[in-house]
Amino acid sequence: MTKKQIAEQERTLAIARLRKCCPPGTTIHISLVSVSRSGMYRRMRFFVGDFEDITRDVARATSSRLHLDNSLGVGGCGMDMGFAVVYDLSYALYPKGFNCVGSGKCFSNDHSNGDRNYDPDHHHGCGGYALRHRWM
């Protein structure tokens, strides 16, 4: 097996594990480990539920860099980089969208744009908003 095939197999397994612990409507908690002096690079860790560390699986699912201290590295500035990673993760887990999880629990941008249908059988086409993020 090549390195590329192994990486894709690990990504598939990470996505399967994350789908079990992160159904639509789940809040991902983010801990900021460090920020570079320039402010252009930061390292974060990700937790779900009773603070189960999912950073390694998040890195594999989003093809992001994982540091030796088990933190995920992200470059860039000018936006909430924690949101960016959780959006990418959410889209990786639910590329074909997700079913609405109900009023007050569903964070899909469809509801912000006028869609008031919160029925459980209502399908949202963009999977990027299936998960929510919170900074610790």
pLDDT tens profile 11-21: 999 999 999 99
Domain annotation covers residue 109:
no
130 burial via Cβ count (<10 Å: 0-12, 13-18, 19+) = buried
> Is position 124 within any domain?
no
Residue 100 CB contacts under 8 Å (≥ 6 apart), including other chains? 106, 108, 117, 118, 119, 120, 121, 122, 123, 124
Q: Examine residue 21 and state whether it is found in any structural domain, yes or no.
A: yes
pLDDT tens per residue across span 36-83: 999 999 999 999 989 999 999 999 999 999 999 999 999 988 889 999
Number of structural domains in the chain: 1
- The pLDDT-based confidence of 29 (bands split at 50, 70, 90) is very high
Helix 55-62 to helix 3-21 angle (10° resolution) is: 120
Residue with tokens 């998960």: 131
In a domain, 126, yes or no: no
User: Domain range for residue 63?
Assistant: 3-96+131-135
121 within domain boundaries:
no
- Residue 72 inside a domain? The answer is yes
Please check whether residue 112 lies inside any domain of the structure. Answer: no
Q: Is residue 48 part of a domain?
A: yes
Sign of CA dihedral 91, 84, 21, 24: negative
Q: pTM for the complete prediction? A: 0.91
